[in-house]
Structures are given as structure tokens and as C-alpha cells.
């Protein structure tokens, strides 16, 4: 019952940290397969040949922090049916930008929202029908610092004085069951929260620190307790000070394994020079995130996201109409990758890995996602030399992304 | 024997690849009557494979009805090991073209009974109707496949222990660790290669100049196993200028002259692919006869 094999030829592959020229890639049953072994052992041959016309083939992008897009806001409850519909819209449309896996992110909300939304954000396989793969939810808050709330509503931020009982109550999970949460962003200085990291990890969550006033010592303790990620580095945290570099100081810690760190690479949330600074300090830890809001993917104009009225000015900037503040990012992940290459002067491979290999490693799914290794999901993007996404495959099937 | 001399490795590769292409096209293989091609590994044929892949991509050539037999494979090296000859053939050639898996033959260096594997291999060559064209390269010591100096010139497919020099030379492919280099290989014999209806050898580089001289200017000798080619009726050697360094000027001139005569006096349209003269051209036909003799031709 061997499924048919598709051969993609005349391509450049991003594999093992380099571009392999004039290579071929074989996919079967939605996976990348070791065609050599198939050829010699089973005598199987491809039934379909795709000419990539010299384009670069990379694994699909992974976005571990995205609040919404295409008019949809994951934190805004609009009824179950509409909510499901919305999630599908985003999952499908994200493929246009080469994003084949994402962690829908919920900003600090009331317990009722979590109880209703989280069950809809369980991991879901990506394919032509579902669209981009849902990796599980990223809950950003509400266990974060009042002084670094960013755009999160302060009145919803909470502590966890009763330990895990508070966590369970807010998110609607139990000591043994966590069907949806993949990443949890907390402020490590909240009392008692670090003692829960072990429990979070047991429940399959990746612990991230952010929206926090933590000093470097607290941040390092958080890493010792199991934190592996920094939520949007530079944004919503203690700024770099040479006598106490705070969370940012984790990038150059010497005695701990350094955490991965998210960077909103729209050129606005983090200055290009700061992007390069972070990257120079810890190149293998960078994870590009969009932190996009509902206006991403929509034409410029006025929109309502949650309760706030916003204006999207161009492809980079949205502001709250009332006060002119930044209202989140509207950048796409493919734009982030292009920006990142421009800002840091890194190679194509390094730029792509910041949105593929690194986020996959962060979530411990590097054998399945973010790689073109044998056995990985055949989530592929075809890129030109300017890193524009020309074609997109998910689980081995091509989707029409109407590229220009 | 024909000796074709070209400027460098690239020109030699292109010449040999286009020759193989034309031979296959002229043969016009079908499923029932495939073209049986013997193939080598190593640095010599890489350029030929590159060109053949190019022809396939340009739709000049299909390998659908081509059957291949490879010369050799290490013993005990996993088939998927990056240095196995299975991997070499896959990466340089097979994965790029439309050859059918069942038409590809390589020796199994992990067979339980290695002797039986060799016998089986010879049989499958026979069953395929013998090899139409065996492409090969040579080592600096004049070896073909793993038939190192001293191998019988009538040898058949068998297990061979590698010479120390070869193991040393190959260690560069195994992390410079001589202990990781396989010590044995399965290889077709000199006799197996010479039994092919045509043998085509690529020899390039100054480091192979001595081997070329030994193989074609001196006697047939098991210390330079490719010298057995002297006894073959349809043999072709393509070499670059560097490889001619140890040849006599006379030898080089002789073979260059043959090409010149064919081109300028006989006319290439009258010469078969394998160097045979299809018909004798009258001097009138040749426009460049004046140039060739330096004097006008008189009727």
C-alpha cells in the first residue's frame, strides 16, 4: 500500500545548515522520504515530477506567537461556530506567507475566555483542508507583571498565590490534563510561579518568560527552573542596563544553557540595530515571531480589534486611533525573515533557520518540523533569492497561494 | 584503440558524455533490447555524469531503457553510508534521471555469501545480454575498478583486499581515519570489463600520466591492469593534455593525426561513432584538403 512518490527536482535545498545546490527532494504520504533507500530497497520510482526551476526549498515557517490575522482575533470570543470558522480562516490564509505551523496566541484574558477558546486550539495536523498546522496555544499571560503589561489589560493580570490551583482555575486545565497549551508566557518574579515550571513542563508546555520586570538574577533562576524561551525580547521587559541587564542578559549568560528568544522583526517593535545586537550575542537562539494582530493580512483602513478601534496605515504599522500607540504588529512571518536578513546581514540559511529550525527546536519538534530531513513533515516553501514565498506545500500537498 | 586528447577535464567529460549519449541514441534501446552500460565511481566520471544529467534535463536523452552495472562496492559498508558507491551513484546520477530502479545493478557488499554475490552478478550481466559499453576511470597505478596491480588480466567478479595505498588514499573520505576505511571490496574483474563490447576509459591529470604511458605504450602487464585494453577490439581512451605528459611525442601526434585525417580528409559524416569508416570519401568531397596537404589537389 505504498503511496505514490513525488519528486521535486532542479532545486536548492536548505539542509544541515547549508544550501545544497541542484538537489532533489522526494515526498511520500505527506513526509520527506529517503529516496535513495527506497530506490535500492523497494525499487520505487516517482509518479510525479515537479520542476522547482532552481528555487530554494526550505521547510515551512513556524510562528510561535501570533494573536490573530485577517480580521480574526484569537482572544476575542465571538461564539463557538464563528470562532472555529475564524481559526480555519487564519490557518488557511497563513499559508500565503509560507507559515505552515503556528501557535495561536491568547493575550491576558478572563478565565471564561480561556475555558471557551483553549478547547478550540488543540494541536491539529496541517494539511490542504485544515491549512497551517496548529501546534497548540500560546498563553501570553495573565500571570505577568503589572508594570510590563504592554497592551494587555491590567485589570486581568493575576498572581498565583495558591500555586497550581490558580493556574488550573484560570486556564481550565488539571494536574494531569492539558489538551491545548503549548507555550506559557509568565513573569518569573511573580511569587511562587517558578516552583510551577516543572509542572508546566510535565504537562507539555514550553515555559517562556516575558512581560516581566525580572532582574538578571531572577531571570537566570527562571532558566535554572526550566524556562527555555524569552517572549518578544526587548519588548515589555526591564531594559538593558550594564549593571543589571535583566532578562536581556540571558543572551550572554555563561554558566547556563541560553534560552531561545523571540524577536518581532517588523523593524518597528525592535530597532534593526537591536535585532543585530541580540543576534550577534546569541545567533543559535533567535526565533522570529510576528506577534501579529487581527489587522495583519488586511488592506490599510480602520478596524476594530477587541474593543479598540485601530487604524492600519501600511504593511508595517497599526495604531490605536484614540492615542496613536502601536497596536501590535501586522508583519507576516515571511516579511520578518526578509527583514531579519537585511537587519543582520546574515545568510539566507541563517535567516530561514530563525523561523524554522530554531522554533522547532524550541518546541522539541525538530525531527518533524523546521527541517528537510527524512521523516519530517513535507511542509515546504519555495523561495526566490529575495526570500519571497513562491510556492507552498503542506503535508506534501501544494496549496494555491496566488503568489505574485 | 582510439586515444582522444582534449584540453582539460571538462572537455574530456563533455566529449565522453556526448559520446555515450550518441551511442545510446544510435542504439535506439527498447524495453526488450535495452542499452547495457557499465559504470564507474570516483572523481573521473563525475563530469560525465553531470553532462549526462544535463542531456536528460534538456530532453536529449532518456535512461528509461538503459540497464546499468556498476564496477564495485565496499564490503561491510552500509548501503546508505555517504561513502558507499550506492550513495555515490544515487547522488551523482540516479536521483537526477529517469532510470528505472530494476535496471540498476550494484554489487551488494553486505551480502551474507560474498562469493555467491559475485557469481550472481556475473550471471545477471550475462542475462542482460552482456555489457554494450563499459565506462571506466583508472588509478595512478593503472588499476581499473579495484583490480589493483598484480590482478589477473582474466579475473572475474570477486572479493578483493585493497592495497595499502588505496586504503590510505581513501581515508580522506572517512574523516582521515584509516581504521574506518573498508579493507575489502567486491569488484568486477579485468576480464569482466574486457568482455564488454566496448570499453571507454577516462584519464585526466598529470598524476595519471605515467599510468597512461604504461598502459598504452608498453606491453600488456598485470602491474598496470588497464594495459589489457590493448587486446580489446573496440577501446576508447579520452584523456586531457596533462595526462599525456609521459607519452612519446610520436604517440600523441599519431593519435591527434588520426582525428585530423578523419575530420578533414575523410569528413566526419563518413565516420561511424566508434571510429569506423562508413565509406571512403573522394577528395573532391573534402573542402579542406588543400589545407591538409598544403598543395592543391590534382585530379
Let me know whether A44 and A75 are in one domain: no
Q: Which of B163, B160, B218, B166 is nearest to B184 (CA)?
A: B160
Decide if pLDDT at B115 tops 50.
yes
Let me know whether A67 and A105 are in one domain: yes
Instruction: Test B79 with A44 for CB contact under 8 angstroms.
Output: no
> What residues in B contact A37, CB-CB < 8 Å?
79-80
Residue B294 pLDDT level (bands cut at 50, 70, 90): very low
Decide if pLDDT at B288 tops 60.
no
Let me know whether A306 and A387 are in one domain: no
Let me know whether A163 and A311 are in one domain: yes
> How many domains does the structure of chain A reveal?
2
Let me know whether A105 and A27 are in one domain: no
Q: Is B86 a catalytic residue?
A: no
Decide if pLDDT at B287 tops 70.
no
Q: Give the pLDDT confidence score for residue B292 in this predicted structure.
A: 47
- Segment B73-82 shows an average pLDDT of 95
Tens of pLDDT, residue by residue over B13-25, are: 999 999 999 999 9
Residue A404, domain member (yes or no): no
> What residues in B contact A42, CB-CB < 8 Å?
101
- Segment B272-290 shows an average pLDDT of 64
Q: Which of B180, B163, B188 is nearest to B107 (CA)?
A: B188
Q: Which of A45, A40, A42 is nearest to A26 (CA)?
A: A45
Residue B262 pLDDT level (bands cut at 50, 70, 90): confident
Query: What domains appear along chain B, each with residue ranges and CATH number?
Result: 2-247 (3.40.50.1360)
- Segment B67-86 shows an average pLDDT of 96
- Segment B86-100 shows an average pLDDT of 95
> What residues in B contact A34, CB-CB < 8 Å?
80
Q: Which residues contact A263 (CB under 8 A, 6 or more apart)?
A: A232, A233, A234, A270, A275, A278, A279, A286, A287, A288, A289, A340, A354
Tens of pLDDT, residue by residue over B214-248, are: 999 999 999 999 999 999 999 999 999 999 999 99
Q: Is B80 a catalytic residue?
A: no
The angle, 0 to 180 degrees and rounded to 10, between the axes of the packed helices B85-92 and B46-57 is 40
- Grid coordinates belonging to B66: 538503459
Q: How far apart are CA A170 and CA B133, in angstroms?
A: 76
Let me know whether A387 and A348 are in one domain: no
The count of residues in chain A is: 404
CATH number at residue A171: 3.20.20.140
Q: How far apart are CA A203 and CA A164, in angstroms?
A: 12
- Partnered with residue B144 across adjacent β-strands are B147
Let me know whether A35 and A127 are in one domain: no
- Grid coordinates belonging to A151: 497592551
Nearest to A45 among B57, B90, B101 (CB): B101
Q: Give the pLDDT confidence score for residue B261 in this predicted structure.
A: 87
How many CB atoms sit inside 10 A of residue A36's CB?
Answer: 20
CB A291, CB A67: distance < 8 Å: yes
Q: How far apart are CA A209 and CA A232, in angstroms?
A: 9
Give me the residues of B, 5-64, that contact A with CB < 8 A: 57
Tens of pLDDT, residue by residue over B125-151, are: 999 999 999 999 999 999 999 999 999
Let me know whether A216 and A314 are in one domain: yes
Let me know whether A21 and A148 are in one domain: no
Residue A368, domain member (yes or no): no
Residue A367, domain member (yes or no): no
Q: How far apart are CA A39 and CA A33, in angstroms?
A: 11
**Chain A residue closest in CA terms to B84:** A36
- Partnered with residue B69 across adjacent β-strands are B38, B105
Decide if pLDDT at B298 tops 50.
no
Does residue B262 or residue A105 have the better pLDDT? A105
Instruction: Test B104 with A39 for CB contact under 8 angstroms.
Output: yes
Let me know whether A95 and A154 are in one domain: yes
Handedness of CA B96, B53, B197, B242 (dihedral sign): negative
Let me know whether A263 and A285 are in one domain: yes
Q: For the purposes of burial, counting CB atoms within 10 Å of the CB of B91, is it exposed (0-12), middle (13-18) or buried (19 or more)? A: middle
Q: How far apart are CA A358 and CA A100, in angstroms?
A: 15
Let me know whether A166 and A36 are in one domain: no
- Partnered with residue A51 across adjacent β-strands are A9
ipTM associated with this complex = 0.81
Omega prior to A142 cis, within 30 of 0: yes
Report the phi/psi class of residue A282: left, alpha or beta, with left for phi > 0 and alpha for psi in -120 to 50.
beta
Instruction: Test A44 with B101 for CB contact under 8 angstroms.
Output: yes
Which residue has cell 524556562? Answer: A227
Q: Give the pLDDT confidence score for residue A307 in this predicted structure.
A: 65
Q: Give the pLDDT confidence score for residue B271 in this predicted structure.
A: 83
Instruction: Test B79 with A40 for CB contact under 8 angstroms.
Output: yes
Residue A21, domain member (yes or no): yes
Tens of pLDDT, residue by residue over B47-58, are: 999 999 999 999
Domain limits for position A49? 5-58+373-399
Q: Which residue ranges of chain A lie beneath pLDDT 70?
A: 1-2, 305-307, 403-404
Q: Which of A125, A43, A134 is nearest to A91 (CA)?
A: A134
Q: Could you say which of A291, A315, A384, A385 is catalytic?
A: A291
Q: Give the pLDDT confidence score for residue A127 in this predicted structure.
A: 95
Q: For the purposes of burial, counting CB atoms within 10 Å of the CB of A208, is it exposed (0-12), middle (13-18) or buried (19 or more)? A: buried
> What residues in A contact B83, CB-CB < 8 Å?
none
- Grid coordinates belonging to A26: 522526494
Q: Give the pLDDT confidence score for residue B280 in this predicted structure.
A: 65
Q: How far apart are CA A171 and CA A174, in angstroms?
A: 9
- Grid coordinates belonging to A123: 494541536
Angle at A334 between CA A87 and CA A317, to 5 degrees: 80
**Average pLDDT value over all residues in chain B:** 91
Rounded to 5 degrees, φ, ψ at A222 are -60, -40
> A38-42, A66-70, B175-179, B265-269: which range is least confident on average?
B265-269
B78, B89, B92, B101: best mutation site toward chain A, by most A Cβ within 10 Å?
B101
Amino acid at each position: 500500500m505504498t503511496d505514490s512518490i513525488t519528486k521535486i527536482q532542479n532545486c536548492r535545498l536548505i539542509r544541515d545548515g547549508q544550501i545544497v545546490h541542484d538537489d532533489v527532494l522526494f515526498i511520500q504520504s505527506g513526509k520527506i522520504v529517503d529516496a535513495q533507500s527506497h530506490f535500492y530497497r523497494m525499487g520505487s520510482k516517482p509518479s510525479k515530477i515537479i520542476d522547482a526551476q532552481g528555487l530554494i526549498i526550505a521547510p515551512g515557517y513556524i510562528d510561535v506567537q501570533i494573536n490573530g490575522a485577517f480580521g480574526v482575533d484569537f482572544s476575542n470570543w465571538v461564539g463557538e461556530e464563528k470562532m472555529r470558522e475564524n481559526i480555519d480562516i487564519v490557518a488557511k490564509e497563513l499559508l500565503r506567507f509560507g507559515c505552515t505551523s503556528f501557535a495561536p496566541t491568547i493575550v491576558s484574558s478572563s478565565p471564561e475566555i480561556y475555558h471557551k477558546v483553549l478547547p478550540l486550539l488543540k494541536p491539529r495536523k496541517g494539511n490542504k483542508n485544515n491549512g497551517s498546522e496548529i501546534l497548540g496555544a500560546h498563553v501570553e499571560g495573565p500571570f505577568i507583571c503589572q508594570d510590563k503589561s504592554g497592551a494587555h489589560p491590567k485589570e486581568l493580570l493575576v498572581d498565583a498565590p495558591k500555586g497550581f490551583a490558580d493556574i488550573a482555575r484560570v486556564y481550565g486545565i488539571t494536574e494531569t490534563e492539558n489538551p491545548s497549551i503549548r507555550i506559557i508566557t509568565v513573569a518569573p518574579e511573580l511569587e511562587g510561579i517558578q516552583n510551577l515550571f516543572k509542572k508546566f513542563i510535565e504537562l507539555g508546555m514550553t515555559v517562556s518568560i516575558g512581560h516581566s520586570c525580572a532582574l538578571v538574577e531572577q531571570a537566570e533562576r527562571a532558566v535554572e527552573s526550566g524556562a527555555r524561551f524569552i517572549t518578544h525580547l526587548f519588548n515589555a521587559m526591564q531594559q538593558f542596563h550594564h549593571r543589571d541587564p535583566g532578562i536581556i542578559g540571558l543572551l550572554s549568560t555563561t554558566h547556563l544553557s541560553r534560552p531561545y528568544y523571540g524577536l518581532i522583526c517588523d523593524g518597528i517593535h525592535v530597532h534593526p540595530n537591536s535585532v543585530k545586537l541580540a543576534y550577534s550575542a546569541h545567533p543559535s537562539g533567535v526565533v522570529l515571531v510576528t506577534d501579529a494582530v487581527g489587522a495583519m493580512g488586511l488592506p490599510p483602513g480602520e478596524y476594530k480589534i477587541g474593543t479598540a478601534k485601530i487604524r492600519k496605515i501600511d504593511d508595517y504599522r497599526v495604531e490605536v486611533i484614540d492615542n496613536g500607540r502601536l497596536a501590535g504588529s501586522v508583519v507576516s512571518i515571511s516579511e520578518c525573515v526578509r527583514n531579519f536578513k537585511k537587519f543582520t546581514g546574515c545568510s539566507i540559511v541563517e535567516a530561514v533557520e530563525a523561523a524554522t529550525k530554531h522554533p522547532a527546536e524550541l518546541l522539541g519538534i525538530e525531527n518533524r518540523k523546521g527541517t528537510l530531513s527524512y521523516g519530517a513533515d513535507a511542509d515546504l516553501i519555495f523561495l526566490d533569492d529575495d526570500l519571497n514565498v513562491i510556492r507552498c506545500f503542506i503535508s506534501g500537498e501544494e496549496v494555491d497561494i496566488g503568489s505574485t | 584503440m582510439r586515444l582522444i586528447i582534449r584540453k582539460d577535464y571538462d572537455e574530456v567529460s563533455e566529449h565522453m558524455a556526448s559520446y555515450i549519449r550518441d551511442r545510446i541514441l544510435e542504439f535506439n534501446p527498447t524495453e526488450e533490447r535495452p542499452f547495457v552500460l557499465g559504470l564507474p565511481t570516483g572523481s573521473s566520471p563525475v563530469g560525465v555524469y553531470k553532462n549526462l544529467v544535463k542531456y536528460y534535463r534538456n530532453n536529449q536523452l532518456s535512461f528509461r531503457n538503459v540497464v546499468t552495472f556498476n564496477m564495485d562496492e565496499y564490503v561491510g559498508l552500509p548501503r546508505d553510508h555517504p561513502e558507499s558507491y550506492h550513495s555515490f551513484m544515487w547522488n551523482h546520477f540516479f536521483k537526477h534521471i529517469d532510470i528505472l530502479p530494476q535496471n540498476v545493478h550494484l554489487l551488494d557488499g553486505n551480502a551474507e555469501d560474498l562469493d555467491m554475490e559475485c557469481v550472481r552478478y556475473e550471471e545477471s550481466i550475462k542475462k542482460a545480454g552482456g555489457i554494450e559499453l563499459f565506462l571506466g576511470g583508472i588509478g595512478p597505478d593503472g588499476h581499473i575498478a579495484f583490480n589493483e596491480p598484480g590482478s589477473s588480466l582474466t579475473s572475474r567478479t570477486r572479493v578483493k583486499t585493497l592495497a595499502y595505498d588505496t586504503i590510505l588514499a581513501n581515508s580522506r573520505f572517512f574523516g582521515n581515519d584509516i581504521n574506518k576505511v573498508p579493507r575489502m571490496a567486491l569488484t568486477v574483474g579485468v576480464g569482466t570489463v574486457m568482455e564488454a563490447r566496448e570499453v571507454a576509459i577516462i584519464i585526466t591529470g598529470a598524476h595519471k600520466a605515467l599510468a597512461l604511458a604504461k598502459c598504452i605504450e608498453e606491453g600488456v602487464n598485470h602491474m598496470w591492469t588497464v594495459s589489457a585494453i590493448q587486446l580489446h577490439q573496440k577501446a576508447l581512451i579520452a584523456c586531457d593534455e596533462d595526462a599525456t605528459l609521459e607519452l612519446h611525442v610520436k604517440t600523441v601526434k599519431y593519435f591527434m593525426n588520426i582525428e585530423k585525417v578523419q575530420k578533414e580528409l575523410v569528413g566526419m559524416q563518413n565516420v561511424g561513432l566508434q571510429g569506423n569508416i562508413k565509406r571512403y570519401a573522394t577528395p573532391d568531397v573534402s573542402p579542406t584538403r588543400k589545407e591538409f596537404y598544403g598543395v592543391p589537389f590534382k585530379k
